[in-house]
Amino acid sequence: MDIAISNTSDKPIYQQLFEQISVQILKGELENGYSLPPIRHAAIELRVSIITVKKAWEELERHGLIYTVTGKGCFVANLTSKEILQKRNEMLLKQMVIDISYYKSFGLTLDEVYELLKEIY
Amino acid sequence: MDIAISNTSDKPIYQQLFEQISVQILKGELENGYSLPPIRHAAIELRVSIITVKKAWEELERHGLIYTVTGKGCFVANLTSKEILQKRNEMLLKQMVIDISYYKSFGLTLDEVYELLKEIY
Amino acid sequence: MDIAISNTSDKPIYQQLFEQISVQILKGELENGYSLPPIRHAAIELRVSIITVKKAWEELERHGLIYTVTGKGCFVANLTSKEILQKRNEMLLKQMVIDISYYKSFGLTLDEVYELLKEIY
Amino acid sequence: MDIAISNTSDKPIYQQLFEQISVQILKGELENGYSLPPIRHAAIELRVSIITVKKAWEELERHGLIYTVTGKGCFVANLTSKEILQKRNEMLLKQMVIDISYYKSFGLTLDEVYELLKEIY
DNA sequence: GTGGTCTAGACCACG
DNA sequence: GTGGTCTAGACCACC
């Protein structure tokens, strides 16, 4: 578990958990079939509530990134590299559409956005 | 008042108000000294509470975009085009830093981000 | 009328008027019997409402700094230099007691206050 | 909670709350990480509205004196003694500049102010 | 009429 | 239980 949680962030903790584990799976850092730590262990290690971990795990399952075997644990889904790429782009594009609509509201063109992004990167 | 409020959005109403009016000011759509509608009128027109409007207006004032004169009304601040550009970039960069950290977590390079942005734009 | 009014100040306008004229009288800049401009003239010159000027004048009269002769106008009261000094200290001390209670709430000693004041002066 | 609210004061309640708690934090009376009472409890105890407490707490957070964790509570920020001193002077100087401009309008010199302060202290 | 403040009560997300 | 938000209605000071 290589997770960093911020209490003061405006993002709910379960969301932070979901996002970070999603990324790890979609980057291939967690292999197919990898067994996620039991909810209780993860909760203790991350110092969060069991409910919070459960919520994050549920969100992962809803996105088809993990599957649960009752009584055995949770495992990273068996995804082909094509499926991984597809899901990754799906998540990225979903966020980008939101981000871009914000930039557009200021009347920015694509090139202006690019210039600003370059500065930060 | 050209404002669209979404009750289903995850963003609080006062935040939506603040953002939309900010954009209008920073795009120069509302001229210096322009008199905003009285909070009570705005509240009725937008079908929200007075306090909600007030909260948005306060945030605008805190950002130096408007100023209020008790008993007279609220007015768009007298900003030079340089100041407007500066404030606009301030707001944009603040959001972009967040957006980029998300893209980076997926391991995306600047060029990959650009390619995706181009598709959506 | 050497008065500077700020619309954006948190102090009400009539209060600003009252304070500035008080100071001028108590500093001896306006002599005994000096005729204040008619309320209407002052209102026009200062670009404020007649009501606002009236309120300030009333406050001045209540403090014994001016007197009104119906149909003739308002005049600076005939105060001996002793009375002026007394009224001046009265106003100053009243404010200072408030200021000091604020400094004291932070646990500041007289010397610490002096040091900070010296910096600003 | 050692707070005294005055309904007759010209200062708004949320401002009184903010100032008094600020002072307690900046005097070191409330330690780092100290958990403030839940806003609802504070509201009942102080016999004010939840929103009023919230407004004061928000102002404290804006000044970096506390931080809130949704669902957990509000806590005194982790400030070094250096930061505390800096914030304290910031608040004090801001007020002192106003106070001094009033004294100066009467033509008082620094020494005269000092003499008067000494009398009252 | 305008902004400034306050209240009581309510619903929701989070942990 | 905790904070986050919202509403409807009210009173006040100021102009």
pLDDT tens digits, one per residue of B65-91: 999 999 999 999 999 999 999 999 999
Adjacent-strand bridge partners of B73: B69
B70 touches strand E (CB under 7 A): yes
Phi, psi angle pair for A35, to nearest 5° = -90, 115
Question: Residues C12-39: what's their mean pLDDT?
Answer: 90
pTM, two decimal places? 0.90
- Predicted confidence at residue A42, as pLDDT, reads 93
% of chain A beyond a pLDDT of 90: 78
pLDDT at B3 over 80: yes
Separation CA B46–CA B17 (nearest Å): 10
Other C-beta atoms lying within 10 Å of the C-beta of residue D59? 18
Which bases of chain F are contacted by protein, using any atom under 7 A from a CB? Answer: 1-10, 13-15
Closest residue by Cα to residue C51 from C65, C40, C64: C40
Give residues 102 to 121 of D whose Cβ lies within 8 Å of C: 102-103, 105-108, 110, 113-114, 116-118, 120-121
Q: Which of A70-79, A88-97, B60-69, C29-38 has the highest mean pLDDT?
A: B60-69
Contacts of A106 (CB under 8 A, 6+ apart): B23, B26, B27, B88, B91, B92
C-beta separation of B50 from B40 below 8 A: yes
The pLDDT, as a whole number, for residue A16 is: 95
Judged by C1' against the alpha carbon of A51, the nearest nucleotide is E15
Reference C63, options C37, C34, C84; nearest CA is: C84
Cβ of D47 near strand E (under 7 Å)? The reply is yes
Contacts of C8 in chain B (CB under 8 A): 67, 69
Mean pLDDT confidence for A64-72: 91
What is the distance in angstroms measured between the alpha-carbon CA of C83 and the sugar C1' of F9?
50
pLDDT over threshold 80, residue A33? no
From CA B55, how far away is CA B77, in angstroms rounded?
17
In whole angstroms, how far apart are CA B73 and each of A21, B35, B46, D49? 50, 7, 18, 26
* A34 pLDDT higher than 80: no
Q: What pLDDT is stored for residue A71 in this prediction?
A: 85
Task: Report the pLDDT averaged over residues C19-37.
Answer: 88
| Residue B73 CB lies within 7 Å of the nucleic strand E | yes
Three-state SS at C102: helix
* C 75-94 near B (Cβ less than 8 A): none
Amino acid identity, residue D102?
Answer: Y
The Å distance, CA of C102 to C1' of E14, is 39
Contacts of D10 (CB under 8 A, 6+ apart): none
